[in-house]
Structure 1
Amino acid sequence: MLRPCAHGAEKYGIDAGEWRAHMCGLCLGLRDGHGQLARAATNTDAILLSVLTEAQLASPATRTTAGRCPLRGMQRADVAAADSPGVLLASTASLLLGSAKLRDHVADGDASRLAGRPMVRMSTRWADGARRQAALIDFDVEPLVAVIDSQQLVESRAASAEPTVTLDELTAPTALCAAELFAHTAILANRPENADQLRTAGRHFGRIAHLSDAIADYDDDTAHGRFNPLTATGTALAESYELVRESDAELRRALVAARLVDVPTVRWMLLDPLHALVHRLGKGVGAVSAHVCNTTRTDHAHRPGNGRRAASPGSETTGGDHPRAHRTNHRPPTRRPGVGEALALVLGVYCTGYACCADHTSPCTGERKDAWWKGCDCGSCCDCADCCSSCGDCCSCGDCGCGCDC
């Protein structure tokens, strides 16, 4: 859900490699504590728990040097220590979420008969690993396990419509889990005064996560007759989008009230990506007018009367300077992903939307590009928004140097 923009890091004076440092630390923490296969549970949104923990520390967090990895182009890197409290919490969350996801796939019939049993065993193993990991940081994980287990029951009740289940009841398990995980970052950082505010922020983050997933899957779920909380509760897409915006505002208020030491990093890794998410959802439900920019930066920059102007989310860009034809004129033929991209996709490490921790080819121009962490040169406004996974997905917000959707 979170896609931090490398150019936003530069704006805040942050090393763009910090996001990779947390991601690699989480991946290595899962490997060291639970074996190589557990690295597939790496959840890029769970990285936020490590970020929030460090953002409350008075002194800089320690880093350790990781060995060479294909997803880093076989380079070494300074990463968050696998045994640091934030990484331990993030890996606990990744295992819990990964376990629940596997069970959901089996329950929904997405897994074949041959794959079903191994997936159930892996789900149980990851849940047990989460319990052991939580014990290391004095985190009571049992209420979270219980509420995750209750999700299937609540959805069954909603599907039967007897008795009526509200949207708040359906999103409550996700919201509760995120709330307790956020709050525990304050305990790990020895800042208990922040716990209540972070619990509030986490509750709204969980609600956004659940609703954004429901909005994104709405058409596909409807077409295939799968359960969707919006359909089950009769909630319109526009109404669900307003709930997302409401939670986004409440989350920001809670974080302002919390006493964080490192505010810029939290803005870069959480608040800015959430702004982009809300904007993309708004475009998807028709609440925000889409702005489609030109492909090259030189064409997009400093045009008289237009140029790289800032348009607030929800504003409408009109005129003939940015014809929709640019979406198709510059798109090369479909290609197979390279080895690095395929490996990233298999492992489930999605970095910024298109497995961009590996070198990749821009679908906008066909140009071969380095991984974003090598120092992405934003040749077009969508390069650093979705790593060119969808040319034209820009908001022209003007917040970063390239006007990308950040």
Structure 2
Amino acid sequence: MLRPCSHGAEKYGIDASQWRAHMCGLCLGLRDGHGQLARTATNTDAIVLSVLTEAQLAGPMARTTAGPCALRGMRRAEVAPADAPGVLLAATASLLLGSAKIRDHVDDRDGSVLTRRPMAKVSHRWADRARGQAERIGLDIEPLVGAIAGQADLEHRAAGTHRTVETSLSEAGRGPSISLDELTGPTQLCAAEFFAHTAVLAGRTENVDPLREAGRHFGRIAHLADAVEDFDDDRARGRFNPLAVTGTTMPQAYDLLRESESALRAAVAEAQMADMPTVRWILLDPLHSLLRRLRRVIGEPIAHACTTSAQHVARRADAPHAHRGGTGHRPPTRRPDLGTGIAIVLGVYCTGWACCAEHTSPCTGERKDAWASNCDCGECCDCSSCCDCGDCCDCDGCGCCCDC
């Protein structure tokens, strides 16, 4: 979900390798603490926990030199230490979520019958390792384990109620007995407690409540974004989707996403951060980009703050990616070229390059250099503060567009 852009790092004056430093630190932390197989549990969204922990600390951050790795082109790199508190927290989250995901596949009877028992063993082992590591960093993980375990029961109840309401004329006008907020509750709880614990590890207890609120909305965004992206596929395969069973429309889901993004930003702004630019680059900006992508998936018309003239409006109307209204519309995606495909396969996302491989102006649909160089206002490409739609910023006439 979080895809920080190297051009955004340049805008904030941050070394773009910082994201890779945290990701490699998490991967190596899983290897050192739990074996080679545990490296497959590396969760790129969990990296934000390591980033948030460091961002609340003053002074230079500790780094260690990692050996050559194929995903870095067999180069060495300076990475976060595997025993750093933030890395340990991110590893705990990765193991817990990885265990839950494997268990879901086993319960859904995905894959071969022969693989289910080994997968179940891996799931149990990772859950036990997550408990042990959580105890090491002082995190009470049992409520989170219970919430994740209860997710399946919530979904079964919601699906059963949904079928009953559909087939019973007497209940045709009654809403679902389980709300969308209840269905996303376990995800909200887990993210909230993980975010809050970054403040505990950093010794910034005044940040516990704001970050818990930020984490709650992060979990809600994660759950709803997954439901929106998988909606058509879930319906085609007869799988559970929280939007379908609660009767939530795509525009309503998008409104909830925007509400949570706004609340998350307010909560992060309330917290006391020693390194706010890195938090904006790795957490806030990617979330804003996620909402833009989801709006295109939904097919809602996208307004731009830079459409200040009739000529610009006409130019955008002719843009290749201009979307008109209509729900359920998924615009055609561009087939990636060979270079982009190879970069993705070889893990070039580690460098931040691939996220900007398709950098295109949202106003004209034309290829554009990242971050207009003729703009002297420091926040011009910070879409969150320049415009409501999040795609362009007029910024007193400089006219730069942001689509990274």
> What TM-score do the two structures reach when normalised by structure 2?
0.79
> Which residue number corresponds to residue 257 of structure 2?
244
1:324 Cα deviation (Å)? 2.0
* Residue 70 (1) aligns with residue 67 (2): no
* Residue 24 (1) aligns with residue 24 (2): yes
Q: CA–CA distance in 1 between the matches of 2:19 and 2:193? A: 23
Contact 2:9/2:15 (8 A) holds in 1 = yes
Alignment of 1:239-318 (within 5 A): 239-289=252-302, 310=306, 318=314
Structure 1 portions without partners, runs of 5+: 292-308, 345-350, 366-378, 385-393
Alignment of 1:123-202 (within 5 A): 123-161=123-161, 164-202=177-215
1:335 Cα deviation (Å)? 9.2
Q: CA–CA distance in 1 between the matches of 2:192 and 2:336? A: 43
Structure 1 pair 332–43 and aligned structure 2 pair: CA distance change class (3 A): closer
1:2 Cα deviation (Å)? 0.6
Structure 1 pair 342–320 and aligned structure 2 pair: CA distance change class (3 A): closer
Stretch deviating more after TM superposition (85-94 or 107-116) = 107-116
AA aligned opposite 1:156: H
> Which residue number corresponds to residue 213 of structure 1?
226
Number of matched residues? 355
Structure 1 pair 323–91 and aligned structure 2 pair: CA distance change class (3 A): same
* Residue 405 (1) aligns with residue 395 (2): no
> Which residue number corresponds to residue 92 of structure 1?
92
Q: Give the 3-state SS of the residue equivalent to 1:196 in structure 2.
A: helix
Structure 1 pair 239–185 and aligned structure 2 pair: CA distance change class (3 A): same
Contact 1:71/1:357 (8 A) holds in 2 = no
Q: CA–CA distance in 1 between the matches of 2:321 and 2:142? A: 53
* Residue 324 (1) aligns with residue 337 (2): no
1:7 Cα deviation (Å)? 0.4
Q: CA–CA distance in 2 between the matches of 1:401 and 1:100? A: 46
Identical columns (%): 59
Deviations 1:273-298 (A, max 9, x none): 1111111112222334389xxxxxxx
Q: CA–CA distance in 2 between the matches of 1:336 and 1:15? A: 23
Contact 1:72/1:357 (8 A) holds in 2 = no
AA aligned opposite 1:324: P
Structure 1 pair 332–244 and aligned structure 2 pair: CA distance change class (3 A): closer
Contact 2:16/2:352 (8 A) holds in 1 = no
What is the CA RMSD across the aligned residues, in angstroms? 3.4
Q: CA–CA distance in 2 between the matches of 1:236 and 1:325? A: 23
Q: CA–CA distance in 2 between the matches of 1:212 and 1:281? A: 7
Q: Give the 3-state SS of the residue equivalent to 1:82 in structure 2.
A: coil
Q: CA–CA distance in 2 between the matches of 1:83 and 1:285? A: 42
Deviations 1:350-384 (A, max 9, x none): x75xx76798996899xxxxxxxxxxxxx945989
Contact 1:95/1:127 (8 A) holds in 2 = yes
1:136 Cα deviation (Å)? 1.4
> Which residue number corresponds to residue 327 of structure 2?
none
Q: Give the 3-state SS of the residue equivalent to 1:45 in structure 2.
A: helix
> What TM-score do the two structures reach when normalised by structure 1?
0.79
1:231 Cα deviation (Å)? 0.5
AA aligned opposite 1:207: R
Q: CA–CA distance in 2 between the matches of 1:233 and 1:216? A: 16
Alignment of 1:38-53 (within 5 A): 38-53=38-53
AA aligned opposite 2:267: A
> Which residue number corresponds to residue 229 of structure 1?
242
Greater gyration radius = 2
Structure 1 pair 334–275 and aligned structure 2 pair: CA distance change class (3 A): same
Q: Give the 3-state SS of the residue equivalent to 1:67 in structure 2.
A: strand
Q: CA–CA distance in 1 between the matches of 2:20 and 2:137? A: 23
Stretch deviating more after TM superposition (101-110 or 72-81) = 101-110
Structure 2 portions without partners, runs of 5+: 165-175, 323-330, 361-365, 372-389
Contact 1:58/1:261 (8 A) holds in 2 = yes
Contact 2:95/2:130 (8 A) holds in 1 = yes
AA aligned opposite 1:215: V
Deviations 1:281-330 (A, max 9, x none): 12222334389xxxxxxxxxxxxxxxxx9569xxx954278642999999
> Which residue number corresponds to residue 295 of structure 1?
none
Contact 2:393/2:400 (8 A) holds in 1 = no
Contact 2:56/2:273 (8 A) holds in 1 = yes
* Residue 110 (1) aligns with residue 110 (2): yes
Contact 1:283/1:290 (8 A) holds in 2 = no
Structure 1 pair 106–335 and aligned structure 2 pair: CA distance change class (3 A): farther
Q: CA–CA distance in 2 between the matches of 1:56 and 1:141? A: 22
Structure 1 pair 382–199 and aligned structure 2 pair: CA distance change class (3 A): farther
1:110 Cα deviation (Å)? 2.0
Structure 1 pair 401–108 and aligned structure 2 pair: CA distance change class (3 A): farther
